[in-house]
Amino acid sequence: MDRRDFLRKSVLYGAVAGLGASALGTFTPALAGLRPHITKGNFDLVAVRGSNLVAMFDRAMQEMGGMSQWVKPGQTVVVKPNIGWDVVPDRAANTNPDLVGAVVRHCLQAGASRVTVFDHTCDNWQRSYENSGIEKAARDAGARVVPGNFERNYRDISIPGAVRLTEAKVHEQILDNDVFINVPVLKHHSSTRVTIAMKNLMGIVWDRRYWHRNDLNQCIADFCLFRKPDLNIVDAMLVMTQNGPRGTSTADLVRKNSLMVSSDIVAIDAASALIFGEEPANVGHLAIAEELNIGSLDLSKLNIQRVYM
């Protein structure tokens, strides 16, 4: 595809997507989970292999047809990276800060009126925000960074159709912004085997203990019935393959040099699990997600763009 072709295509796809979105109107969060499976962008999934994460992300979005497919001028965006731990970027227990910065920039370039970044951290939130480098990277890129560790910022929601997680308290930024972008990091996890896009949503609820106490894998899947992110971006550059999700040293990491972008949270998790070296069907919450029809683990039916840089 040459440059002109690409531009023509992106305008066309953009217009179609824009019309589609306006025709369907704005979704109330409770209904969002029930909407038909819509994949925006030129591909169901774009996977990029390379050495420069930010350049890889730029390329992935270019392939997808640009951030404007998801973010319309004037819309507000919430970006949810993984900032769970008080560790430095080299340890790859949190999303790469440069990637978070790049996501924010793409949103603002697409005309977002405001981009908000937060996570409900596991370690002390201020230390995690600071030492992960994400607070600074996001602010420098033009986002505002807000706390996620205060109960007053969470609101009660109910999840129709959920098996175990019928109610939860969700952060107001998820409920009040137009576009929700999920930016997890691919890691080993002590009990769910891997933590990717679906597991990253544990950072937008207040009571995580409830999930652990009531069939963790089921709750992770249940939550996607409430709200799926509009776009998922998986950081799989440095992948923690053991001692996850916090890791104990850089020796836990393997250079997988990959990045994935997709609107389909189950597809992107399945692809990421394969990169990690785990069969998607063996990951408890992924298997349940397929059963609940949240998405498909069968990557062969998807339109995947693979890029090697």
Partner 1 sequence: MLLRHLRKIRIIVSLLIFGFLLLFFMNVHGRIIDPVAEFLLRLQFFPSVLRFSAIAFAVSSLGFLLILLLTFLFGRVYCSSICPLGTLQDIFIALARRFKPKKKRRFVYTSNRKFILRYSILAATLLFWFFGSLFLLNLLDPYSNFGKISVTLFQPLFTQGVNGLSGLLERLDLFFITPLLKQSLPGDVVAVSVGILGVIMTLSIWRGRLFCNSLCPVGSVLGLVSTRSLYRVAFREAACTLCGKCEKVCKAECIDSKKKTVDMSRCVSCFNCFDSCSNNGLYYENAFSGKKKAITLNTTDNLRNEKRTFLLTLAGGMMSIPLLKKLAKAQVEPGKAGMVPTGTGLPVTPPGSMSHDHFTGKCIACYLCVGACPTNVIIPSFFDYGLEGFMQPKLDYHKSFCNFDCTRCTEVCPTGAITRLDRDTKHITQIGIAKFMYESCVVTVDGTDCGACSEHCPTKAVTMVPYNGLWLPEVEPELCIGCGACEFACPTEPYKAIYVESNALHKQALPLSDDHGPRDHDKDEFPF
Judged by the rule CB under 8 A, the positions of this chain that interact with partner 1 are: 47, 49, 86-87, 92, 122-124, 126-127, 131, 144-147, 149-150, 152-153, 189-192, 208-210, 212-218, 238, 243, 245-246, 248-251, 253-258, 270-271, 274-275, 284, 299, 304, 306, 308
Q: How near is the Cβ of 166 to partner 1 at its closest, in Å?
A: 16
Q: Which is nearer to partner 1, 2 or 308 (CB)?
A: 308
Q: Which is nearer to partner 1, 17 or 246 (CB)?
A: 246
Q: CB neighbours of 149 closer than 8 A, spacing ≥ 6?
A: 120, 121, 125
Q: How near is the Cβ of 22 to partner 1 at its closest, in Å?
A: 26
Q: How near is the Cβ of 135 to partner 1 at its closest, in Å?
A: 11
Q: How near is the Cβ of 177 to partner 1 at its closest, in Å?
A: 12
Q: How near is the Cβ of 127 to partner 1 at its closest, in Å?
A: 6
Q: Token pair of 264, please? A: 């389909």
* 226: exposed, middle or buried (Cβ count in 10 Å: 0-12, 13-18, 19+): buried
Q: Does residue 159 contact residue 201 with C-beta atoms inside 8 Å? A: no
Q: Token pair of 239, please? A: 């992948």
- Give the C-alpha separation, 133 to 309, whole Å: 26
Q: Which is nearer to partner 1, 58 or 215 (CB)?
A: 215
- Give the C-alpha separation, 8 to 196, whole Å: 34
Q: Which is nearer to partner 1, 44 or 230 (CB)?
A: 44
CA 284 → CA 252, 276, 290, distances in Å?
23, 15, 10
Q: Which is nearer to partner 1, 123 or 178 (CB)?
A: 123
Q: CB neighbours of 152 closer than 8 A, spacing ≥ 6?
A: none
Q: Which is nearer to partner 1, 106 or 285 (CB)?
A: 285
Q: Letter for the amino acid at 241?
A: T
Q: How near is the Cβ of 298 to partner 1 at its closest, in Å?
A: 10
Tokens 């007053």 correspond to 152
- DSSP state letter for 264: -
